[in-house]
């Protein structure tokens, strides 16, 4: 991940936050800036980038590989969503709200800390 590489290089050159709490403050600042941006605007795009880059710095300060963490989250989401989502013809609905999705299987965590297996969609390259 490019952001991790840039973050590590900057930290190696001495351009870094002293404590992880300092980075958390920056995360909250970036969230506030994003919330005030107009959806879909160039400013919103910039603020999303700033927020993501800052979160990568939180990961680095906490000793977490951001790319691995995000890939793991995507795999868990795909697994949970694929086991929850009823066929559209059964529900008659065209879409499902995040609120109803969040209260179902996506919100529950597996009982083990093991990595989920790759889904067929992932192994066949349909999800990138």
Q: With CA atoms as reference, report the closest residue to 75 among 106, 31, 100.
A: 106
The tally of CA atoms less than 13 A away on the side-chain side of residue 33 is 18
Supply 115's token pair: 């990595």
Burial of 27 (0-12, 13-18, 19+ CB in 10 A): middle
For residue 97, what pLDDT is reported? 65
pLDDT digit string, tens, across residues 106-120: 444 544 444 444 444
Q: Per-domain residue ranges for the chain? A: 2-64, 68-123
- Please indicate, yes or no, whether the overall pTM of this predicted structure exceeds 0.85: no
Q: State whether CATH 1.10.287.1080 applies to domain 2-64.
A: yes
Higher pLDDT, 104 or 8: 8
pLDDT digit string, tens, across residues 60-109: 999 999 999 999 999 999 988 887 766 555 656 556 665 665 555 444 45
What mean pLDDT, rounded, does the chain reach?
80
For residue 92, what pLDDT is reported? 60
| Mean per-residue pLDDT, 27-55 | 98
DSSP state of 80: H
């Amino acid at each position: 991940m490019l952001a991790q590489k840039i973050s590590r290089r900057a930290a190696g050159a001495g351009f870094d936050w002293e404590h992880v709490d300092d980075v958390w403050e920056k995360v909250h600042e970036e969230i506030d800036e994003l919330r005030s941006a107009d959806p879909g605007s160039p400013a919103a795009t910039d603020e999303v980038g700033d927020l993501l880059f800052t979160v990568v710095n939180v990961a680095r300060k906490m000793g977490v590989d951001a790319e691995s963490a995000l890939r793991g989250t995507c795999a868990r989401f795909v697994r949970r969503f694929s086991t929850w989502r009823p066929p559209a013809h059964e529900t008659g609905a065209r879409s499902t709200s995040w609120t109803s999705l969040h209260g179902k299987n996506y919100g529950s965590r597996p009982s083990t800390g093991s990595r989920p297996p790759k889904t067929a969609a992932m192994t066949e390259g349909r999800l990138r």
